[in-house]
Amino acid sequence: MSPESDGIDDAQDVLYRLVDRESGEVLITAEDLLDYFMEEDRESPGTVTFVRAHQVGRARRKTERAELQVVDRQGVTIGAYDIGRVIAAFRPEFVPSGEDRPDLGYSFGHTCEYPRAGEIWRQWAATGRPVEPGEWARHPSDWHESWLHVVQTAWFDSGRDATRYETGGTAVVDSTAITTRGGFYCALGEAVNGPGGYFGSNRDAIIDCLRTMRRDGAAPFRLVWRNFAASREVLGGDFAESVLALFEEYGVETELS
């Protein structure tokens, strides 16, 4: 059953789609979620609520291989989560198109530990992939890890590899807006691959990106790290120096200012 059968009139309101991976059947679509994107140390309530549900047909009560998809205004999947086993906490019945949308719950085996990811996904779904530099930095520092998570998830779900795609020869990382290590990786991904771009979420992931570049024969680039002293102070000298050493090890020309 295709997502389009949910009704063209309100398809743009849908942000989440729960799909059975084996059959491709859409179990439920909804405008929002509650209790899926949560603080890591917060106890899960056990049930994720699909807010203003747009249910497609008579969905089965449970499936062993569910996928939660994040979709944009055109219904295109921009991110996905492998959920595994889910059980409906309601009697699955057809919900007709219209304004009166119920909130319906499913029992999930796990939640996502990036609490701001849902708000960021909504922003990305409405506007598309970020097109302006520094969008991540306009959010408070406690959003940076969630932004990086969305970047990484969207990057790989779009079929991209962990490598450099931009054609420009210079990537500029400016430490002015960097206040966390998550923010550094947001800035690095943007510098290398443009707004919303990915180039590692930790040191090992940077190595993966550099190795992929070398394996695929991607053109080398030059890294300009502005206000490096500020990065050393905020991120820690050992961290900043170790990241710099990785780039030098893989032949990336670096310039510090």
Residue range 62-86, pLDDT digits in tens: 899 999 999 999 999 999 999 999 9
Which ranges constitute the DSSP H helices of the chain? 117-127, 144-157, 181-193, 203-216, 228-235, 237-249
Residue range 184-222, pLDDT digits in tens: 999 999 999 999 999 999 999 999 999 999 898 877 789
> Residue ranges of the chain with pLDDT lower than 50?
1-9
**Given this model, what pLDDT does residue 101 score?**
86
Q: Following DSSP, what letter does each residue of the chain receive, concatenated?
A: --GGGG-GGGGGG--EEEEETTT--EEEEEEEEESSB--TTSPP-SEEEEEEEE--SS--SEEEEEEEEEE-TTS-EEEEEEEEEEEESS------SSS----EEEEES--BS-TTHHHHHHHHHHH-S--STTTGGGS-GGGHHHHHHHHHHHHHHTT--SS-----SEEEEEGGG--SHHHHHHHHHHHHH-TT--S-SSHHHHHHHHHHHHHHTPPP-EEEEETHHHHHHHH-HHHHHHHHHHHHHTT-EEEE-
